[in-house]
Chains A and B, each alone.
Chain A
Amino acid sequence: MTVGVKVMKRPGAKVSYLRATLKGMALTFSHLFRPKVTMQYPEEKSSQDWTLSPRWRGTHRMLTDEQGRAKCVACGLCPQICPANCIKLVPGEDEHGNRYPLIYEIDEFRCVFCGYCQEVCPEEAIHVGVHYENSEFSRDRFVYDLERLCAQTHPVSTLWDPSDPKGE
């Protein structure tokens, strides 16, 4: 044995190589026939053991009212609270004095998906979504404008509620 290496005395069963090898091989062989855990992704997006959490915070969605207009009243709370400064909002006002967003853009590359915008929104207009397939062919497609945010159909996130921590 190499100098300085302490040779430990252990019970025979713990230092055996042959028995351990055979045991290991029996184990790996038995695994050949066990059910596989792989989820075949594009065809299969959720399984019995794995579904996307309802609290998942993905790309945003703007909810609309019955006339199909964005619920947003351009109060300015979401750009104010956004830690990543990814929301661009230019407010406008119509002839009845109703405020609405002239420009509402979210840069999904800057977004950290904290969900504060959804939390702070008094009108429950902007939401983070339960959604993760966001590939695009160009970078500028990741700045979602108001039209696109309204057109999203995926479910919206259920944010964590301190008074109901387990979501019951």
Chain B
Amino acid sequence: MTFFLVASIIKIVVVFTVIMVGVALLTLAERRICAWMQDRLGPNRVGPQGLLQPAADGLKNLVKEETLPAQADKALFLLAPAMSFVPALLTFAVIPFATPLPTPWGEVDMVVANLPVGFLYILAFGSLGVYGIVLAGWSSNNKYSLLGGLRASAQMISYEIAMGMSTVAVLLIAGNVTLTDVIAKQSQSLFTWNVFPLSLAYFIFIVAAFAETNRLPFDLPEAEGELIAGYHTEYSAMKFSMFYIAEYSNMVTASALMTTLFFGGWDIPFTTWDNTPPWTTLKTLATLAMFSAKVICFLFLYIWVRWTLPRFRYDQLMALGWKVMLPLALTYVTVIATAIWFLHDGLGWTYDTRFALALFALNLVLAVPLFFVLDRGRIVAGSVAEA
């Protein structure tokens, strides 16, 4: 019991620190990558290659004046940044990021809380994030903030459904809601990574994840051009910074989630060395590096997409969420459940590479007509293809 407590506390502190530092570096990465994409250099003055820029920003935010609008609902106004900040971090607690670490006192799971219901926990806390944004918008007593908050709630609720539906397929394959089991099921070979047997679910998930994290092309809650800064218009200094940190922590968590659910978590492809006991420190470090590499790839994808795509119009966003993503996710779950039932019960296959490849083939067959139809102007309403 003491061992468990000590190990947990150490893990909490380490993970929290790593995420905070990661978020800080992420803000820098975003600005520099954005600059490179626009043929600029970006912030490179503070420290080598601008590495201390986040520290300078943090210091500035700490000493800046805190403003409080006269007509604001004071209690909620103060609570809102924390409400968006905390769930963003809490979600990361159940994500396994490496193989267990052997210590002289016993094995330590490389996950802050190895919950048996890890997956449901993620869905639950993922939905909590919207409260911070809505409360911020409401309590500011500012029409732009309120509109931002309203948009955020509508958007996050719409896409949450598609997101949840897309992950049902993952659960069908894993047969369990524990994330360690989800990873174990995927780590047999490269093709058992869920992105292959469940490519379309991954597609739905990634689109929904962009919407859930309020990133472009779905950043309507902020929409500078229309809403000044949306829900955090009235916030300054550290409270503003909290929203910023929350946004980036959400990105980190969403990336970690994509890695865990669809890209085999900490699994190193082309080898089973990493997922067979006995566990060693080397294995822990190698899998941790692999996990980080995957997460960083997704973070780069987030930044890359942000600096490429323009923002959706509000009706397009809603149409995409309700008329495309939701029916698509529902249909997909039905199809994939039938396929899994047929392969598993009909043909008596167990889940292995062959099983995954069969599902992958099914996905490809489904993807061709789907993308053909989606590409005919059905995503962005306002114009449709001729004939």
Contacts and interface: CB of A to CB of B under 8 A. Distances in A.
Contacts of A24: 308-309
B327 interface: no
Given A9-B384, A32-B33, A18 B375 contact: yes
Contact of B385 (A15, A35, A38): A15
Contacts of B35: 38
B374 A34 contact: no
Interface string A5-40: 101111110111111010011011101101111101
Sorting the interface of chain A by its residue count into under 10, 10 to 19, 20 to 34 or 35 or more gives 20 to 34
Residue among A2, A15, A29 with most chain B CB within 10 A: A15
B376 interface: yes
A132 to B, nearest CB: 21
B304 interface: yes
B386 A21 contact: no
Interface residues of B, number: 27
B383 A9 contact: yes
Contact of A36 (B36, B307, B386): B36
Contacts of B40: 36-38
Given A28-B37, A38-B40, A38-B41, A17 B374 contact: yes
Contacts of A10: 377, 383-386
B381 interface: yes
Contact of A7 (B36, B375, B379, B384): B384
A37 B39 contact: yes
A81 B14 CA distance: 72
Given A12-B385, A28-B307, A18 B374 contact: yes
Given A17-B374, A38-B40, A28 B386 contact: no
Nearest to A23: B308
B380 A15 contact: yes
B386 A16 contact: no
6 contacts: A9-B383, A10-B384, A17-B375, A21-B308, A29-B37, A29-B304
Interface of A: 1-2, 5, 7-12, 14-19, 21, 24-25, 27-29, 31-32, 34-38, 40
Interface of B: 33, 35-41, 304-305, 307-309, 315, 371, 374-377, 379-386
